[in-house]
Amino acid sequence: MTTELTGDLSDVLRNRRSLRILDPEHVLGDAQLARLLRAAQWSPSAGNSQPWGFLVACRGDETHDRFVKHLSAGNRSWVPAASAVLITAHQVASGPEDDAPAFSDYAMYDLGQAAAMLTVEAGLLGLTAHQFAGFDHDGVAEEFGVPEHWRVTTAIAIGTYGDPSAADPALVERDRRPRVRKELSEFVFAGTWGASAGL
């Protein structure tokens, strides 16, 4: 495990963090919101299947009000302050339409890619994107009529960093914890799984 990001990495990835202290006054404009979703739109996918969908909930709107009821207890303390929450879903079977595209085994992977591209675009716009899965997925699927061949997967809280002095100290402590990762030697191999690639 390593706790410091040493070595070269582009600033947008180096500075990415999943933060909890969000400015409850910040409003995300439609142009920025569209730009985030365009990042997902142009993400790669297996056979260009594009097996992703998003429900948009902006703080104060009806979708947001209906979504926050489904948050886990732990996420109720910080998610509602986000400027927007994007609920994600991936396709898990072909649809009922006659011309439905074949289901791809890579749908969950590709949704992850789209979420990451969206997260990168958020960083480039000076926004923070914090993904979470702690909410009632079945409840959300029912609430918003998500079809059986799609699965609600994660949600992404979008916002700007808020004022720590006005925030719950427990959240401030979480946001200030060191970032910890496996060393490259623990997950990058050559020749045989587990054997060092010399990086």
DSSP state of 150: E
Among residues 169 and 191, whose Cβ is nearest to a copy of itself? 191
CB of 17 to a copy of itself, least distance (A): 9
- Interface stretch with a copy of itself, choices 19-27, 72-80, 145-153, 163-171 (CB under 8 A): 145-153
CB of 151 to a copy of itself, least distance (A): 11
Burial tier of 149 (Cβ tally within 10 Å: 0-12, 13-18, 19+) = middle
Measured CA to CA, the distance from residue 117 to residue 88 in angstroms comes to 13
**39 near a copy of itself (CB under 8 A):** yes
DSSP state of 45: -
Cα 117 versus chain centre, distance: 9
CB of 170 to a copy of itself, least distance (A): 18
- Interface stretch with a copy of itself, choices 19-27, 57-65, 69-77, 167-175 (CB under 8 A): 57-65
Is the four-CA dihedral 77, 80, 82, 88 of positive or negative sign? positive
Site residues for a copy of itself, 98-137, by CB under 8 A, read: 106, 108-117, 119-121, 124, 131, 133
Is residue 40 within 8 A of residue 117, CB to CB? The reply is yes
CB of 38 to a copy of itself, least distance (A): 5
